């Protein structure tokens, strides 16, 4: 690890910390947790991995802050004003950290950076779907397609599904720019589709387990991401 790599990483980590506090992406504990996760990713992955995670954090927060005053009136906002907590950070990043650890240990010959992208595409797709989809009046339960109130776990809508695709696509596009420095259709489609699939799994788990109090929101996020990543591993065996 060169001195230049350490300096560049430190600058990005400081940027992450400052942006998180300035724009209230996380509360204080969440910001510290994000900083720790960033350090782990820098050590186990690379600078590009950290940049991809930063893109996720920034775009997810943009979706979270979208029409935040209206969401607050509807009592559907994260935290008091869209900020997320340490538990949100941990559940969102735990699968990505595991992938980075496998990459660092050189287990198998998998495209770990791409699979890392899938993990955050899944989380970003879910974030976009839940934060933007609540403004669609036509929401249906994914398990029975019964019309429900916006914001209920397991609810899907045309606006939410479109937002989910956008969230996953942003991560896929960011990945190919970082890894290929240009356009590459196969990895772009792989990350976008698998991220979108992860979001659908999240909705199913939310409908079947979270609504019954058998899983927390964070657990649903982590398990749905894990299943999307497991599918990616199966595809690339």
pLDDT at 186: 96
pLDDT in tens, 120-176: 999 999 999 999 999 998 999 999 999 999 889 999 999 999 999 999 999 999 999
Whether the CB-CB separation of 228 and 119 falls below 8 Å is answered with yes
pLDDT band at 82 (very low <50, low <70, confident <90, very high): low
pLDDT at 17: 82
pTM here is 0.92
Q: Where are the domains of the chain?
A: 3-235
Whether the CB-CB separation of 153 and 209 falls below 8 Å is answered with no
pLDDT at 79: 59
**81 has pLDDT over 70:** no
85 vs 107, more confident:
107
pLDDT in tens, 205-225: 999 999 999 999 999 999 999
pLDDT at 75: 79
Residue 26 DSSP code: B
Angstrom distance (rounded) from CA 131 to CA 160: 8
Task: Please give the backbone phi and psi of residue 57, each rounded to the nearest 5 degrees, phi first.
Answer: -60, -40
How far are the Cα atoms of 5, 51, 96, 163, 225 from residue 1, in angstroms, in the given order? 6, 17, 21, 39, 30
- Mean pLDDT, the chain, whole residue set: 91
């Amino acid at each position: 690890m060169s001195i230049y790599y350490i300096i560049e990483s430190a600058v990005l980590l400081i940027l992450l910390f400052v942006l998180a506090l300035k724009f209230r992406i996380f509360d204080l504990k969440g910001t510290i947790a994000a900083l720790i996760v960033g350090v782990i990713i820098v050590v186990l992955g690379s600078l590009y991995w950290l940049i991809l995670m930063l893109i996720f954090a920034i775009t997810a927060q943009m979706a979270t802050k979208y029409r935040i005053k209206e969401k607050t009136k509807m009592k559907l906002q994260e935290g008091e004003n869209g900020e997320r907590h340490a538990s949100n950070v941990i559940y969102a990043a735990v699968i990505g950290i595991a992938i980075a650890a496998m990459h660092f240990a050189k287990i198998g010959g998998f495209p770990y950076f791409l699979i890392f992208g899938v993990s955050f595409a899944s989380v970003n797709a879910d974030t976009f779907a839940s934060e933007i989809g609540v403004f669609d009046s036509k929401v249906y339960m994914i398990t029975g397609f019964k019309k429900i109130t916006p914001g209920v776990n397991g609810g899907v809508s045309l606006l939410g599904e479109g937002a989910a695709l956008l969230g996953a696509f942003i991560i896929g596009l960011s990945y190919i720019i970082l890894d290929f420095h240009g356009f590459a259709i196969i990895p772009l489609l792989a990350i976008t589709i698998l991220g979108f699939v992860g979001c659908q799994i999240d909705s199913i788990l939310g409908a079947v387990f979270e609504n019954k109090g058998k899983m927390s929101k964070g657990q649903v996020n982590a398990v749905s991401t894990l299943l999307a990543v497991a599918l990616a591993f199966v595809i690339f065996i």
